């Protein structure tokens, strides 16, 4: 009998510890659908460490495969500590309510998806589109209260940490000079998709289009640019804006691709011995291409991937067909994080996009982000953050390459099946 009373006392004491720490047993949530029976997640650091001022450089060949990716729930106590580290300064925002517009765009997308179908399937479990939609909807309703109490994010959502750490890069919307028709100094076209692209993707490899005239004379030219490097840049970024001689500006965005293997221009120039690794920045690459136009065109053909465009109302448009928000919209591999997902991202930034003058320390990014885009080159444990447009965005894009910490947020009500 004494042994029984001692066992009960130990159980009650353990429960009291959970209560005092603010993390009840229900906060230990395994990955949805797993068979772990609610086993607590292993202990992890209690706070988000302050990112270093200089991003660590991670080579492509060191990235773990997507098959190794897994999500593990943080305890309520850990999530509450993480909430204390959140800041809007790194996103140049003044209030969480500024996220309402982009969040509604995510909800529009999620509302079109089949509610009970799986949106994310990872080892041990899955999430449905309905659960993601409920998460985004509850977050929208909470935005007005987050400025005063960011801890609501730990009370209402389970924080699933992604491991291993993903690699964070960035992309931006370039603005380029263009002509509506072929003209002196504007000799390089942007094309709309050919009608037979799906039947003949191999026929539209880069060499065939750029050097053999596979699309010439078919009336598919949207605009003409000054250099093949400009066209290559737009294809790499997936879109941007064109400034025409009359002063008008039009957005262009990815419409289709040939599905062939992508290879970045920097890697091509490095492999060819054209530029050393320490000079692989956008300015050096563009200067080299301008000084070696024929050789540049030949080397670009080693990237067989080719992107076709369409005009858009906005300079930035993601895979959901909606405008993107700088430092909020995230592009991912849909097998890692589906469109419409809500997450918290923590990473250092080397360039401040607004506020302080260039040269002053940049605020680290520790805030909510929305998965609103994808890309042919965004595969596996790789995150690509939309940076906006302008010179600062371009400089940040050139330097942003760092391990990041990401937590996927999922509504506790959605996990419990409550509406």
Q: What is the pLDDT of residue 33?
A: 53
- Share the mean pLDDT of the chain: 83
Could you tell me the two tokens for 33?
Answer: 């659908």
What is the band of 382 on the pLDDT scale with cuts at 50, 70, 90? very high
For residue 93, the number of C-alpha atoms closer than 13 Å in the C-beta half-sphere is: 25
Closest CA to 154 of 86, 69, 70: 86
Helix count and strand count (H, E) for the chain: 12, 17
3-state SS, 281-319, equals CHHHHHHHHHHCHHHHHHHHCCCCCCEEEEEECCCCCCC
pLDDT over 90 (residue 306): yes
Q: What is the pLDDT of residue 56?
A: 35
pLDDT over 50 (residue 16): no
- The C-alpha angle 89, 93, 99, rounded to 5 degrees, equals 130
Q: Is 320 helix (H, G, I), strand (E, B) or coil?
A: coil
Over residues 309-340, the pLDDT tens digits come to 999 887 788 889 888 999 999 999 999 999 99
- Fold classified for 176-312: Ribosomal Protein L25; Chain P (2.40.240)
Q: What is the pLDDT of residue 361?
A: 63
Q: Where are the domains of the chain?
A: 27-171+318-416, 176-312
Question: Do the Cβ atoms of 29 and 415 come closer than 8 Å?
Answer: yes
- Fold classified for 27-171+318-416: Barwin-like endoglucanases (2.40.40)
Percent of the chain beyond pLDDT 70? 82
Average pLDDT over residues 278-300: 87
Q: What is the pLDDT of residue 316?
A: 81
Question: Do the Cβ atoms of 368 and 343 come closer than 8 Å?
Answer: yes
Distance CA 21, CA 337 (A): 31
Over residues 266-275, the pLDDT tens digits come to 889 999 999 8
DSSP symbols for 355-396 = SSPTTSPPPPEEEEEEEEE--TT--SSEEEEE--SSHHHHHH
Q: Is 324 helix (H, G, I), strand (E, B) or coil?
A: coil
Over residues 23-66, the pLDDT tens digits come to 433 444 566 754 333 322 222 222 222 233 333 333 344 445 78
Over residues 109-163, the pLDDT tens digits come to 999 999 999 999 988 789 999 999 999 999 999 999 999 999 999 999 999 999 9
Average pLDDT over residues 299-318: 89
Could you tell me the two tokens for 314?
Answer: 């906005």
Q: 82-116: string of b/e by CB count within 10 Å (b at 16+)?
A: bbebbebbbbebeebebbeebbebbbebbeebeee
Distance CA 409, CA 60 (A): 27
Over residues 242-267, the pLDDT tens digits come to 999 999 999 998 899 999 988 888 88
Q: What is the pLDDT of residue 238?
A: 82
Could you tell me the two tokens for 342?
Answer: 């809500």
pLDDT over 60 (residue 20): no
Q: In what order do the strands lie in the sheet with 167-171?
A: 70-73, 157-163, 405-411, 342-347, 365-373, 329-332, 382-386, 167-171, 401-403
Distance CA 98, CA 163 (A): 29
Closest CA to 139 of 92, 131, 330: 131
pLDDT over 90 (residue 225): yes
* Distance between start and end Cα atoms, the chain: 45
Over residues 73-117, the pLDDT tens digits come to 999 999 999 999 999 988 989 999 999 999 999 999 999 999 999
């Amino acid at each position: 009998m004494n042994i029984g009373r001692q066992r009960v006392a130990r159980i009650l004491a353990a429960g009291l510890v959970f209560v005092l720490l603010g993390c009840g047993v229900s906060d230990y949530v395994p990955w949805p659908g797993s068979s772990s029976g609610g086993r607590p997640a292993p202990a992890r650091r209690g706070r988000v460490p302050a990112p270093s001022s200089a991003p660590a450089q991670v080579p492509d060949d060191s990235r773990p495969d997507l098959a190794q990716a897994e999500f593990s729930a943080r305890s309520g106590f850990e999530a509450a500590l993480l909430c204390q580290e959140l800041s809007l300064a790194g996103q140049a925002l003044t209030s969480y309510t500024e996220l309402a517009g982009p969040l509604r765009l995510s909800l529009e997308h999620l509302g079109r998806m089949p509610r009970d179908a799986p949106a994310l399937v990872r080892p041990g479990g899955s999430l449905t589109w309905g659960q993601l939609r409920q998460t985004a909807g509850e977050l929208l309703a909470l935005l007005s209260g987050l400025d005063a109490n960011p801890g609501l994010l730990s009370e209402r959502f389970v924080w699933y940490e992604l491991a291993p750490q993903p690699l964070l890069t960035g992309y931006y919307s370039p603005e380029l000079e263009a002509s509506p028709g072929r003209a002196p100094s504007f000799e390089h076209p942007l094309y709309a998709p050919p009608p037979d692209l799906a039947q003949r993707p191999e026929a539209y490899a880069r060499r065939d289009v750029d050097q053999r005239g596979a699309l010439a004379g078919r009336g598919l030219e949207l605009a003409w640019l000054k250099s093949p490097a400009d066209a290559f840049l737009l294809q790499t970024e997936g879109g941007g804006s064109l400034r025409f001689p009359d002063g008008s500006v039009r957005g262009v965005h990815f419409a289709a691709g040939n599905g062939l293997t992508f290879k970045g221009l920097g890697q091509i120039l490095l492999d060819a011995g054209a530029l050393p690794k320490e000079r692989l920045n956008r300015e050096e690459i563009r200067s080299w291409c301008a000084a070696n136009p024929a050789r540049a065109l030949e080397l670009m053909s080693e990237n067989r991937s080719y992107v076709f465009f369409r005009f858009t109302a906005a300079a930035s448009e993601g895979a959901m067909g909606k405008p993107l928000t700088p430092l909020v919209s995230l592009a991912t591999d849909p097998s890692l994080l589906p469109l419409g997902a809500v997450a918290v991202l923590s990473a250092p930034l080397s360039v401040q996009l607004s506020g302080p003058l260039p040269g002053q320390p940049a605020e680290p990014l520790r805030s909510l982000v929305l998965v609103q885009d994808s890309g042919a080159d965004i595969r596996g444990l790789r995150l690509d953050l939309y940076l906006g447009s302008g010179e600062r965005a371009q400089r940040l894009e050139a330097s942003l390459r760092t391990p990041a910490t990401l937590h996927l947020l999922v509504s506790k009500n959605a996990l419990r099946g409550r509406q």
